[in-house]
Amino acid sequence: MNPVRPSYWPTAGLHPRLGYPLAALPGGVVLASALLLGGQSAAAQEARPRGGTLEEIVVTVRRRSEVATDVPMAITVMDSRFLDEQNINAIDNLNEVVPGLNITQGTDGANLPLISLRGQRPSEVLLSMDPAVPLYYADIVLTPVNGSNLALYDIANVQVVKGPQGTLFGRNSTGGAVLITPMTPDAEFGGYLKGTVGDYDLYSIEGAINLPVNDVLSLRIAGQKTVRDGYQSIVDNGIPAGEVGSTAELACDDCLWDEDSQGLRVVASIELGDFRNLTTVSYDENDAIGKGIIATDFNPDAGLGAIYNAIFNGGLAALGGPSATLVDDAIARAKGRDVTDVEASLKSRDEVSNLFFANATEFDIGDSLTIKNIFGYRKVEVLNGPDSDGTALPLTGPNITASPTWPASFGIPGYRDLDGEQFSNELQVFGDAFDDRLEWLAGVYYYTMKGSERFLANNSGPSADFADLTSPLPIPEVEAIYAIGRYGFYNASSIADVENEAYAIFGEGTWSFTDELSLTLGLRQSWDRRELTSKNIATDFFNAAEPPRCVVLDRDGNPVGPSCSRTEDESYSKPTWRMALNYSPDYASLFYGSIATGYRSGGFQTRAKDNISFEPFDEETVLNYEVGHKADWQAGFLGTVRSAVAVYYQDYGDIQKTQGLSTPDGIATVVQNAGKAVIRGIDLDITVAPTDNLVFSLGYAYIDAYYKEWQTPDFDNEDSPFVYIPDHSFFGNARYTLPLDPALGEVSVSGGVYYQSEVDTFQQLQHLDVLVPDPDEAAEARADQELDEYTVWNFRLSWQDIMGSGLDAAAFINNAFDEEYAVGSTPVIDSLGLNMKTYGAPRTFGASLQWNF
């Protein structure tokens, strides 16, 4: 057999200096969506009428390199040139170029992304909860998801595979997976050095050098450094310095949502006959000031909202308390300003560091068998300190000054810090048999992750207005409110150590009955073990002046003692499988039908403190039915067309939902397998090349996701839709290359557009009238929880290989029409009484110059 080229190996047809894949199309294909791919037969090429040329793209989503048209699943592939042209320099930028992929963030910063694909999305990011769409970097899964929103530099491609991947990628890929492949060394000396400048004082330098040491060893060294001022400013709200809610001493221009990132990567490649080895070592960090959060609505009757209303919004005025409506006034001011001007009580910290190591070794045994081993290591440290109430008031977050009784060993109240360390190893054996009629792959997998997470949540800070006030009524609840006004109320809700282990054995094979008809079967058996040690503490509501106490109880309901520690563990096992029937009437098209399963592991949630909240949750499962078609064809004056469509239906069961339950000791946050749902949708992609100089790429996703069953203690949520999932999303791009003499270089202009329909973010929306009794408040909350539809346009002008000099120049403008659009929301209107939003980047522009050698 011809040995399968591994995913990390340099592929043929790379630009001799830049490293991105060459296409017969002079400008290259801007968007290479693998759903649109399909190699044409030689006869078809000879008979082909007018039209541009679209090149085959190699993918690795089935753990080996193969042409995408042979893969019976929906895939989107973005090569290095596309990433550059779309100005994609971080993971969360993928949100606006891949329809159906949604990457959002709550109040905890960009380094805790919530990634969804085909409607599969975790309810929150915790060290003990797994994602539904894992990120793979150099074939190694990145867990936890915390700290994974890294800078993308010197990247060969990004592959987004849609639908459950339970056979080859294992548990926790119920929605799909995102695969990031760095550039690897080749046999020629070369590299590039690129500088970028832009508004908001953007300065970035990136480069790579390829060093062939000898015929066996090659190195590639790459790095980047980016600094930029913030997209947001803290405005002076006019409240005198020293008074509650004043921003006078913190006001600053372009000081929030900045960037200060850097990274270095070394890749070593060894090729010696049938032996190949690739080692990747990288270190990346970002020491940023986080995005400003904006409060958009307040419910004075809900949970902690009632405390905020009493202390900061005039709720106790009738009993002699302060009469100023500080919360209402802050929200009113925010609604009258641009979203780049915010009120805040601190500059949020959003810091992350990642150390990564991967080693892939491959050895051919004869012509029909290959052994491959992939070892991975990652250490991540994350510190988030968001101003998480969206105002300059001391409602919640690290802006609250800790009381004198707060133990320093518990950390800074309001900050969330995490450190995690993972090891993994996968051994694969693959090959072919029976005169190449059978292609197969089998393997075993091991993974372990240990980490600690400290999430210190402040619930209300002290107010100087209460310094000399005492309760006018001898009612314990009222006296407690006045005490909180004087001292603040602190609650360290999550201090935990987590250990996750996983084992698996898997295999997949494709049998070709004829040249046109084949069957793919895959099976994986997974075992998981989860362990949680909880050390949670809290302040007594009725004794706000007292130091916090341990709230962890043993199995008999008694305090655990001075150690304030309880450990529980649970094990899980689950088989997952995949079956696909593939029909290719010619080399330019593929019809397929598939059934696939996936599951997301069970476990614990880190806020556990008693038997109810320590109760482990089970795996959630998905069964995906899908039919699809991929083809290259001719369309008259439209030229060459590459089209693909996938239609799917998913049964989604035992859905893990975070919710609050009433217990004798108060409200316990638990994760329960609370629901069943249906997800159905369409993925559609079309590339049209009327000529070699003009290419159009279009992508569209439709998702209809709703609950068939979901019963909470208070409500029946049957037929309620999923949150954060747009029904419609669309990406379009056009690229035109001027017909110039090649000696002048290549001049091209491109424009892209992304559209997303409106999104609901409050899961209990159909019961909002019960949760917010006031009709006017309910109507306002209903409007504020929604993320409106939006459209973003980007444009770029580039001149490559200027006059044969090896220099590339480009100018770009993103969000050209300065669309103001919300990308995230934290609708806790029924508990904290607040709804808060984060927004997308404003219009930006810049220019770059790259030297290729």
Q: 21-41: per-residue pLDDT in tens?
A: 333 333 333 333 333 333 333
**144: preceding bond cis by omega (within 30 degrees):** yes
Is 465 in a helix, a strand, or coil?
helix
Region for residue 145 given its phi and psi (left: phi exceeds 0; alpha: psi -120 to 50; beta: otherwise): alpha
Look at 38 and 505; give whichever has higher pLDDT: 505
User: Would the pLDDT of 46 be above 90?
Assistant: no
Contacts of 334 (CB under 8 A, 6+ apart): 294, 295, 296, 342, 343, 390, 391
Task: Determine the pLDDT at residue 30.
Answer: 32
Average pLDDT over residues 609-623: 91
For 499-514, what is the mean pLDDT? 96
- The reply to whether the predicted model has a pTM over 0.85 is yes
pLDDT confidence tier of residue 107, bands split at 50, 70 and 90: low
- The answer to which of 25-34, 212-221, 469-478, 764-773 has the lowest mean pLDDT is 25-34
Residue 663: what pLDDT? Answer: 60
Q: Tell me the sheet residues that pair with 673.
A: 656
Provide the token pair at 661: 């339950």
Which pLDDT band holds residue 404 (cuts at 50, 70, 90)? Answer: low
Residue written as token pair 């009381």: 403
What is the amino acid identity at position 104? T
Residue 9 counted as domain residue: no
**Residue 22 domain-assigned?**
no
Contact 476, 487 (CB under 8 A): no
Average pLDDT score over the chain: 86
- Domain of 378, CATH number, reads 2.40.170.20
Q: What is the pLDDT of residue 567?
A: 96
pLDDT band of residue 12 (cuts 50, 70, 90) is: very low
pLDDT band at 280 (very low <50, low <70, confident <90, very high): very high
The average pLDDT across 743-748 equals 96
Statement: residue 397 has pLDDT above 50: yes
- Please indicate, yes or no, if residue 4 is contained in any of the structural domains: no
Instruction: Tell me the H-state helices in 681-736.
Output: none
**How far apart (Å, rounded) are the C-alpha atoms in residues 721 and 678?**
10
Q: Per-residue pLDDT averaged across 187-208, rounded?
A: 97
Mean local confidence (pLDDT), 394-402: 68
Fill in the amino acid letter for 99.
P
Q: Are strands 517-534 and 537-538 parallel, antiparallel or unpaired?
A: unpaired
Identify the pLDDT of residue 42. Answer: 32
Distance (Å, whole) CA 796 – CA 772: 47
Within-domain flag for 143: yes
- Total of domains in the chain: 1
Q: pLDDT tens, 378-395?
A: 999 998 877 888 999 988
- Cα-based angle 132, 135, 141 (whole degrees, multiple of 5): 100
Q: Which residue has the higher pLDDT, 172 or 426?
A: 426
Q: How far apart are CA 413 and CA 436, in angstroms?
A: 62
Nearest CA among 157, 179, 181 for reference residue 31: 157
Given pLDDT bands bounded at 50, 70 and 90, which one contains residue 664?
low
Q: What is the pLDDT of residue 18?
A: 32
423, 493, 425, 503: which is closest to 455 by C-alpha? Answer: 493
Q: Examine residue 187 and state whether it is found in any structural domain, yes or no.
A: yes
Lowest mean per-residue pLDDT among 46-60, 120-134, 484-498, 636-650:
46-60
- Domain extent, residue 121, equals 34-852
Give the separation between CA 782 and CA 776, rounded to whole angstroms.
10
Helix or strand holding residue 277 (H, E): strand 275-289
Count CB atoms within 10 A of the CB of residue 777: 19
Q: What percent of the chain has pLDDT over 90?
A: 56
Is the predicted pLDDT of residue 4 greater than 60, yes or no? no
Whether residue 398 is predicted with pLDDT greater than 80 in this model: the reply is no
Q: What is the C-alpha to C-alpha distance for residues 796 and 814, in angstroms, rounded to an integer?
A: 9
Spell out the residues 6+ positions from residue 311 whose beta carbon is closer than 8 angstroms to its own.
321, 322, 460, 463, 466, 481, 484, 485
Return the higher-pLDDT residue of 177 and 717.
177
pLDDT at 342 over 50: yes
Q: What is the mean pLDDT of residues 810-837?
A: 91
**Residue 205 pLDDT grade (very low, low, confident, very high; cuts 50, 70, 90):** very high
* Within a domain: 749: yes
CA atoms within 13 A on the CB side of 447: 24
Contact between residue 703 and residue 692 where contact means Cβ atoms under 8 Å apart: no
List the end-to-end C-alpha distance of the chain, in Å, as a whole number: 36
The single residue listed with the structure tokens 């042409």 is 67
Averaged over 219-239, what is the pLDDT?
Answer: 97
How does residue 483 score in pLDDT terms, banded at 50, 70 and 90? confident
Q: Smallest Cα–Cα separation from 158: which of 35, 64, 69, 75?
A: 75
pLDDT at residue 256 is higher than 70: yes
pLDDT surpasses 60 at 7: no
CA-CA distance, 818 to 793, in Å (whole number)? 9
- Integer Cα distance of 292 and 838 in angstroms: 7
- Which of 93-97, 164-168, 507-511 is modeled with the greatest confidence? 507-511
Cis peptide before 407 (omega within 30 of 0): no
Reported as half-sphere exposure (CB side, CA atoms, 13 A), residue 842 has a value of 15
pLDDT band for 411, please (50, 70, 90 cuts). low
